[in-house]
Amino acid sequence: MLEAEQLGATLGGRAVLQAVHLRARPGEITAIVGPNGSGKTTLLRRLTGDLAGAGVVRLEGVSLTTLSARALARRRAVLPQSVSVGFPFTLREVVAMGHASGNAAHLPGVVEAALEEVGLADKIDGFFHDMSGGEQARGHLARVRAQVWAPVYEGRPAWLFVDEPVAALDIGHQLQVMAVLRRFADAGGGVIAVMHDLNLTAMHAEQMVLMEAGKISAAGSPAEVMTAPLLSRAYRCQLCMNTAPKDGVWLLPQVATML
């Protein structure tokens, strides 16, 4: 269980996050959604411990600030929006860095298996900087997966924090990435994902957290959050909701008009 209480953050004297309470369960994908500038990434950075500020974040009852960097690296991995690699490392070497720092460092074959999972096994010995933007994004996903390769470590769930993991990807690879997150959650790990694509979110997340101006304005299942009034107010445009077969909730932005 991830618990965050009274989280706050200020950037340049301006409060960008105010009194945020959040609970996320392992075994689920928790998606943070909201308009640009609503504080999604700031919330994620408070949850990972990258950003200092008011409030406390606990993983399984243990405050983040009491864990050493090494211990924390075995319990959670973080995928930022973009990462540049400073030297000509190969894909294998980049993924191996995650593996060596994580909770399955002693296991052989993890680098290969993580790359298999994101469909990059054939690029393993190529230079990282020679790959396309989408391939690099998946390469970094393989790196963080290799870091928390065991979704449950020493009896406690491991966590994946991902910031817009599908932003650079086509629809096929978007589904592939969401499947990677799904399998991790199904195996007992916890996933916190900042998402822009509401349809994709509704299809895959158990919990949706809607951010508005540095606060959580709604949280719950996709069916509870994906309502026309809530989303129309948050995104400041008129939205209509349709339901697809199998209880999925779909948003159809092509019929939207700006408010």
Partner 1 sequence: MAAHRLPVPVVGGALGVLLGAATVASLSLGASGLLPWEPLWREISPTERAILFDIRLPRLLLGALVGAGLAVSGALMQGLFRNPLADPGLVGVGAGAGLGAVIAIVLGGALPAALRAATGIYLVPIFAFAGGWAATLILYRVASARGQTSIATMLLAGIVLGALAGAVTGLLIFAADDAQLRDLTFWGLGSLAGANWPKLAAAAPILILGLLSTPLLARGLDAMALGEPVARHMGVPVERVKRGAILAVAAMTGASVAVSGGIGFLGIVVPHILRLAIGPGHRLLLPLSALFGAALLVAADTAARLLVAPAELPIGILMALIGAPVFLWILLARRAHLEI
98-127 footprint of partner 1 as x/- string (CB under 8 A): x-xxx----------------------xxx
Quote the CA–CA distance of 140 and 103 in Å, as a whole number.
17
Q: Is position 89 an interface residue for partner 1 (rule: CB under 8 A)?
A: yes
Q: How far is the CB of 81 from partner 1 (least distance, A)?
A: 11
Residues 135-164 that bind partner 1 (CB under 8 A): 147
Helix (H, G, I), strand (E, B) or coil at 130: helix
Q: How far is the CB of 184 from partner 1 (least distance, A)?
A: 16
Contact window for partner 1 (CB under 8 A) among 4-12, 21-29, 81-89, 163-171: 81-89
From candidates 33, 64, 72, 230, binder to partner 1 by CB under 8 A? 72
Of 233, 234, 201, 206, the closest CA to residue 220 belongs to: 206
Q: How far is the CB of 233 from partner 1 (least distance, A)?
A: 33
From candidates 12, 13, 61, 86, binder to partner 1 by CB under 8 A? 86
Quickly count: other Cβ atoms within 10 Å of residue 97's Cβ.
15
Contacts made by residues 202-206, CB under 8 angstroms, sequence distance 24+: 202/226, 202/248, 202/249, 202/250, 202/251, 203/178, 203/248, 204/29, 204/31, 204/178, 205/28, 205/29, 205/30, 205/31, 206/25, 206/28, 206/29, 206/30
List residues near partner 1 by CB under 8 A.
Answer: 48, 50, 68-74, 77-78, 80, 83-90, 93-94, 97-98, 100-102, 125-127, 129-130, 147
